[in-house]
Amino acid sequence: MAKIVLISDRNVYMKRICNFLAENDHEIWLVCRFRDGLPRNEFSDRIHFFDFSSEKLSVKRRELNYIIRSVNPDFIHLHYLARDIVLPALILRRKFKYFVTIWGSDMNIASRNPVNRILQNIGLIGADKIHLLSGFFADRIRAMYYFISSKKITVFSWGIDLKNLQDVTPEIIQKVKEKYALSGRTIILSFRNHYPLYNHHTLIRTIPYIAERFSKVIYVFVCGNSDKDYLGQSRKLVAKSGRPEHVLFIEEWMSSQELAALVKMSAVSINIPLEDGLPASLLEIMATDSIPVAGDLQAYSEFFKENINGLMLHTLTDSNELQVLLEQALKDTEKLSGKFAKRNNDYVEHYQNWMLQSGKLMDLYSNKISS
């Protein structure tokens, strides 16, 4: 049994990782940078929780030092690339192994700040292993951080919790319809975190055109962790569209089953970030019958082909191009869903299935766990 401190958020992906490790008899502490997130009761009762009390780096350093002294972990595993990455690397004479997982788009959020970039460099140098979710971003990090040894870098995808999607019952779907007044509506879904990086405003600008032609359409934005200023701008754009009755913002955290049900009941699901890694969100869409509309990103090129796996937006901020794609999807929903779904479902089941990929997570810790 290993003692593992994970630093991340209380989201559906960490729920899956934490519960899996706990089921395999490892002792898990989840240290969260945000106080909001999935309720703790969705996690195994064997998980220990700690929330950082402040965004200040000095406070986080003091609190992490306290956790390390109290737990004496075998591993610390940080799951985002920000200035916090430096904290475990500053521990002198540390006895734990320090791993970092970079979720693709993290490289585009914090590293533009020169001070944060220096802290990231120190953290990456101090890490024992750096885990990337795709070969595309492994190549990119080698180019960005040329001073990091390639021996530290490991590449594999977590995959998605396919069983969670398969276990969605008609009763759960009906509950979500009633809770959010979605009965009889045709859903266009966007469920990436509500940050500028995820390009929600391009989708919002299509509302007047689409709502005029499809009276039952409703745009659903699951906000997750959101930038409050950006979310406020989104609300203003919706008001300006003159069609607020065609839009729903879900700001509270949905349970993993509720979110899975929402994806399954959506006619079209949108994934058009300005940059990305290998997104679990797009894979979750591909595991359902919902029609994917994805951005034309190099990071997707290994597994997502235009008109084979879904529809593709080439100019990421062009709302006119996007509304043409949406109109196409809404006019031929059944035909396009049938065209894409089987191929996408098969790909996810065989190559991006958490039940198959989870063994690689164990391999990540193998130097310690196997002893």
Is there a shared CATH topology between the 3-159+354-369 domain and the 162-351 domain? yes
Q: 63-67, 178-182, 360-364, 367-371: which range is least confident on average?
A: 367-371
**At 361, is the pLDDT very low, low, confident or very high (cuts 50, 70, 90)?**
confident
Domain 3-159+354-369 CATH superfamily:
Glycogen Phosphorylase B; (3.40.50.2000)
pLDDT beyond 80 at 143:
yes
The whole-number pLDDT of residue 371 equals: 32
**At 369, is the pLDDT very low, low, confident or very high (cuts 50, 70, 90)?**
very low
Region 20-27 average pLDDT: 94
* Domain spans, the chain: 3-159+354-369, 162-351
Q: Are 221 and 234 in contact (CB under 8 A)?
A: yes
Region 173-197 average pLDDT: 96
The whole-number pLDDT of residue 92 equals: 81
Instruction: Determine the Cα–Cα distance for residues 310 and 290; give it in Å rounded to an integer.
Output: 10
DSSP for 165-178, written as a single string: HHT--HHHHHHHHH
Tokens of 280: 């679990």
**H helices present in the chain, as ranges:** 12-23, 57-71, 86-89, 114-126, 135-144, 162-166, 170-179, 200-204, 207-213, 228-241, 256-264, 280-286, 319-331, 333-351, 354-364, 366-369
The whole-number pLDDT of residue 368 equals: 44
Residue type, 20: F
What tens digit of pLDDT does each residue of 277-317 get?
Answer: 667 899 999 999 999 999 999 889 889 999 999 999 999 99
| Averaged pLDDT score across all residues of the chain | 91
Tell me which of 320 and 33 has the higher pLDDT.
320
**At 140, is the pLDDT very low, low, confident or very high (cuts 50, 70, 90)?**
confident
For the stretch 31-67, what's the b/e string if a residue is b when 16 or more beta carbons lie within 10 angstroms of its beta carbon? Answer: bbbeeebbeeeebeeebbebebeeeeeeebbebbeeb
Instruction: Determine the Cα–Cα distance for residues 9 and 15; give it in Å rounded to an integer.
Output: 9
334 CB burial (10 A radius; 0-12, 13-18, 19+): exposed
The topology under which CATH files domain 162-351 is Rossmann fold (3.40.50)
SS3 per residue for 266-295: CCEEEECCCCCCCCHHHHHHHCCCCEEEEE
Q: 126-140, 206-220, 230-244: which range is least confident on average?
A: 126-140
Please name every residue paired with 310 in a beta bridge, in sequence order, or none if there are none: 306
Tell me which of 321 and 103 has the higher pLDDT.
321
**At 215, is the pLDDT very low, low, confident or very high (cuts 50, 70, 90)?**
very high
Please give the share of the chain, as a percent, with pLDDT higher than 90: 68
Region 250-254 average pLDDT: 92
Q: Are 147 and 118 in contact (CB under 8 A)?
A: no
What tens digit of pLDDT does each residue of 39-78 get?
Answer: 899 899 999 999 999 989 999 999 999 999 999 999 999 9
pLDDT beyond 50 at 133:
yes
**At 111, is the pLDDT very low, low, confident or very high (cuts 50, 70, 90)?**
low
The whole-number pLDDT of residue 304 equals: 95
Region 348-370 average pLDDT: 80
pTM value > 0.85: no
